[in-house]
Amino acid sequence: MNTAKHAAEFNAIAAQLADAASPPISASNDPTLSPLEHIDPRLHKLMLAPLSARIRHVLTDVMIMHPHMVGVCNEVEWLIREPNRQRARGLIIIADWGNGKSAYAAHVQARYPCNGALGDPKQIRTVMLSMSGARKTKDVLNRILEGTGAPISRRNSTSDQQFLVIETLRRMNCRLLVLDECQDVAEIAEREQQRVLESLKYTMNTLRMPILALGTEPARKAFKVDPHLQARFDFIELPRWEVGEDFKAFLDAFELCLPLKYPSNLSDPKMQEALIKISGGILDKILTRIRLVAVNAMVDGTERVTVDVVLGGCARPLVDILGPR
């Protein structure tokens, strides 16, 4: 897929969503702090807050628009914003566990939530559900209704639920159905799997609504069961991270979010190699390790992430620092 095709349009949309209302705050009046060019200016005030506030920030999820994700965002924006097509299309994002699929799904719904006045053509809405453990068509339909906030009746037949799903999504002007954990579709018994896929296809056809599916490798096989669905879906793979310019760009962006007093130079080649070695290139493991070392660095006063600690396993577990929940 040519993910660079609409780069200008995507960048314009991203610029509109930027937090331009939050001006940089200087912490230069505190002589105990070094220059803070290595962190986002909006975090400078946080450097004057108690240690507990900085630790909470480090442990909070952030969305980093790294090069891999920009291409995905481009394609999803076009799924949502292009005029209704007679033959609705879809996109399947394939990635290993822990490589950011579910976080991205939540990001999409956060941008286009299910709220506001129903039927407002200017209000773009998405509905997200997890396919994890959904073994029957009615389970999937009920989860769609749950995602819209509509009431669910266990006594309705599957056909009744299908009708209710169509009418609810039509009334709310839903522009995208987001299906997370789609690899679980491959675990459904063959006959029921066909019914689930038929239900999704019927929803796409009736509403001319695209679908974004996310899952691990078995999700690819699941959607190939139905040749008509397979023809409608494009696939994007989010690869494991490797040492290189893309990883460097990601680490540079993530370091801006770490309220440490001193630069860690996360994108240095030796640090990249260390992070790949301990994580196997899995995003979740990379971020978990950096956060653990960063919190320890705050507590012991070193205030930077170092290669030795990343590799050495010398960091204390978070439970030792924060105590039990």
Write down which residue in 238, 268, 302 finishes a domain: 238
Residue-wise pLDDT tens digits, 260-305? 999 999 999 999 999 999 999 999 999 999 999 999 999 999 999 9
Residue 102 falls inside a structural domain: yes
Q: Are strands 233-238 and 90-95 parallel, antiparallel or unpaired?
A: parallel
Same domain? 55 vs 190: no
Residues 228 and 213: beta-carbon distance below 8 Å: no
Residue 6 falls inside a structural domain: no
Indicate the pLDDT class of residue 320, thresholds 50, 70 and 90.
low
The residues that bridge with 93 in the sheet, in sequence order, are: 214, 236
Same domain? 165 vs 266: no
- Which letter does DSSP use for residue 185 in this model? G
Query: Nearest-CA neighbor of 133 among 180, 82, 97?
Result: 180
Q: What is the mean pLDDT of residues 1-8?
A: 42
**Contacts (Cβ under 8 Å, ≥6 apart) of 26:** 41, 44
Same domain? 218 vs 129: yes
Q: What is the pLDDT of residue 83?
A: 83
Structural domain including 226 reads 67-238
Query: Nearest-CA neighbor of 171 among 106, 108, 229, 127?
Result: 127
Indicate the number of domains in the chain.
2
Residue-wise pLDDT tens digits, 167-199? 999 988 899 999 999 999 988 888 999 999 999
Same domain? 167 vs 281: no
Residue 272 falls inside a structural domain: yes
Stated length of the chain: 325
Q: How many CB atoms lie within 10 A of CB 231?
A: 9
User: Which pair of tokens denotes residue 283?
Assistant: 């995003």
Residues 238 and 100: beta-carbon distance below 8 Å: yes
Residue 27 falls inside a structural domain: no
Residue 21 falls inside a structural domain: no
Same domain? 75 vs 183: yes
